[in-house]
Amino acid sequence: MTTYDTAPPARRRGPLRVTAGLAVAMLGLGACSTIGTGDAATDDATVLDVVTHDSFTLSDGLLADFEEETGYEIRQVAPGDAGALVNQLVLTKDAPLGDVVYGIDNAFAARAVDEGVLDDYVSPDAAPGGTFAGALTAVDRGDVCINVDHEWFAAAGLPEPVTLEDLTDPRYADLLVVTNPATSSPGLSFLLATVGAFGEDGWVDYWAALRDNGVRVVPSWSDAYYVDFSGSEGAGPRPLVLSYASSPAAEVTDDGPAPTGALLDTCFRQTEYAGVLAGADNVAGAQAFVDFLLSTPVQEDIPGQMYMYPVLEGAAVPPGWAEHAPLAPAPHEVAPEVISAHRDTWIETWTQTVLG
């Protein structure tokens, strides 16, 4: 029998040496801790606090150019997706998170304005019709559409669906995966597309038909696109997925034709706005930043960085977008005020209808 106590006394580091080692290691690591690396001078008038949704990004150098031209130092805050962003702005309106906001979309624009989160300012460079309630300036737009796996349909010898109505056709049973409007912003957009297409009275019946035709609902875009969809990385079972009109451009490889496409009759138009926050410390800087977002370099940078179309007609889009990521000619639309008034009840009705 093994007796534990007679085990050979291996060379042991004493507890003290271990502690000392740990302490030294901690101190060493402490030297590279985050404490003390922050910017100490916070309420400097030259600082511009920019609040964005978590998808905001611009090419290297653009923000630096802005800082150099204006003399402001930009600090970014990105507290979540468009919905979470607006909700946090509402929560913190007495002590605003920053000076200027980018990333409020048309599904949440009216809530932000109604809650008094924004100052009155629209950019003089705004696109025609590209402002909302005198407080928001449109920066970019994009379409949320059903994407289709071309290869799957070719192999199955089935014509691809075209319209929203087609999706309820029994031939396309069990082929579609969408996301939940309560937990995903494309999901909400698609719900709004059906409201725009079938009206405030008709959309519920449409969803009942989709449900009966085997639509699958998952909570997040990544889940639908990478697990259930057959056309991308996931090689999942379903050839129809809710995504963006620009998604097919990301699937194109050097060899061969685009493996996926967007059904342009199923789209909802998303517009993303910027505005000056009420109670901003740096109002001049905030206004300059809104104008900056509408400058040609930024507008032309947006497609490559954020998969959205610039809002200014003259701004160039990357080669290939005309072919692989065109905007829908006639997207479904719902007015922001109508969305704001009904969004929560619509989501509740949708949940009862589709999930039961």
Taking CB under 8 A as the criterion, which residues in 128-157 touch other proteins? none
Report the distance separating Cα 122 and Cα 80, nearest Å. 24
CB 320 within 8 A of CB 245: no
CB 211 within 8 A of CB 204: no
The structure tokens listed for 283 are 């109002």
Binding region for other proteins (CB under 8 A) out of 64-72, 130-138, 165-173, 246-254: 246-254
Indicate whether 326 belongs to the interface with other proteins (CB under 8 A): no
The angle subtended at Cα 243 by Cα 146 and Cα 250, nearest 5°, is 115
For 71, other C-beta atoms within 10 Å of its C-beta total: 9
In this structure, are strands 268-276 and 100-105 parallel, antiparallel, or unpaired? Answer: antiparallel
Binding region for other proteins (CB under 8 A) out of 136-144, 203-211, 264-272, 304-312: 304-312
The angle subtended at Cα 119 by Cα 117 and Cα 124, nearest 5°, is 135
CB of 280 to other proteins, least distance (A): 15
Note the residue count of the chain.
Answer: 356
Q: Which of residues 79-118 bind other proteins (CB under 8 A)?
A: 79-80, 83-84, 87-88, 90-92, 94-95, 97, 111
Indicate whether 12 belongs to the interface with other proteins (CB under 8 A): yes
Q: Which of 79/297 has CB closer to other proteins?
A: 79
Binder to other proteins among 253, 314, 319, 329 (CB under 8 A)?
A: 253
Indicate whether 250 belongs to the interface with other proteins (CB under 8 A): yes
Q: Which of residues 179-208 bind other proteins (CB under 8 A)?
A: 180, 182-183
Q: Which of 202/214 has CB closer to other proteins?
A: 214
Binder to other proteins among 135, 148, 217, 263 (CB under 8 A)?
A: 217
E strands, 3-81, in order: 47-52, 73-77
The count of chain residues that interact with other proteins, using the rule CB under 8 A, is 82
Indicate whether 37 belongs to the interface with other proteins (CB under 8 A): yes
Indicate whether 24 belongs to the interface with other proteins (CB under 8 A): no
Looking at the DSSP bridge assignments, the partners of residue 132 are 136
Indicate whether 173 belongs to the interface with other proteins (CB under 8 A): no
Binding region for other proteins (CB under 8 A) out of 160-168, 175-183, 280-288, 308-316: 175-183
Q: Which of residues 54-83 bind other proteins (CB under 8 A)?
A: 54-57, 59-60, 75-80, 83
14: left (phi over 0), alpha (psi -120 to 50) or beta: beta
Indicate whether 299 belongs to the interface with other proteins (CB under 8 A): no
The structure tokens listed for 143 are 């379409």
CB 33 within 8 A of CB 65: no
